[in-house]
Amino acid sequence: MEVNRFGNASIASIACSVHSVQRLLRLRDGQRRYRRNDATDATTLQTQRRYRRNDAMDAMTLQTLYLKQIEVGQMANYVYLIGSTKTKDVAVVDPAWEIDRIVELARADEMRITHILATHTHPDHVGGKLYGLQIQGIAELLERVDAKVVVHRAEAGHLTPLAGSNIMRVDHGDTLNLGDLTMTMIHTPGHTPGSQCFLVQNRLFSGDTLFIGSCGRVDLPGSSPDQMYDSLTNRLMKLDDKTVLLPGHNYAAGRTSSSIGEERKQNPCVQSRSLAEFLRTVGYV
Is 78 in contact with 250 (CB distance < 8 Å)? Answer: yes
Q: How far apart are CA 270 and CA 278, in angstroms?
A: 8
Give residue 23's pLDDT.
52
Q: Which residues contact 218 (CB under 8 A, 6 or more apart)?
A: 190, 191, 224, 225, 228, 282, 284
Give residue 279's pLDDT.
95
Give residue 17's pLDDT.
42
Q: Domains along the chain?
A: 61-281 (3.60.15.10)
pLDDT band at 12 (very low <50, low <70, confident <90, very high): very low
pLDDT band at 254 (very low <50, low <70, confident <90, very high): confident
Residue 70 pLDDT exceeds 80: yes
Q: How far apart are CA 205 and CA 224, in angstroms?
A: 20
What CA–CA distances, in Å, run from 206 to 13, 146, 209, 249, 258? 83, 25, 6, 10, 11
How many C-beta atoms lie closer than 10 Å to residue 58's C-beta? 12
pLDDT digits (tens, 9 = 90+) for 156-191: 999 988 888 899 999 999 999 998 899 999 999 999
| CA atoms within a 13 Å half-sphere pointing along the CA-CB vector of 98 | 16
Burial class (CB in 10 A: 0-12, 13-18, 19+), 232: buried
Q: Whose CA is closest to 273, among 285, 284, 281?
A: 281
User: What pTM was estimated for this model as a whole?
Assistant: 0.79
Give residue 51's pLDDT.
45
Residues making up the chain, counted from first to last: 285
Question: Is the dihedral angle over the CA atoms 250, 254, 257, 259 positive or is it negative?
Answer: negative
Q: Which residues contact 196 (CB under 8 A, 6 or more apart)?
A: 119, 120, 152, 170, 172, 185, 186, 187, 188, 207
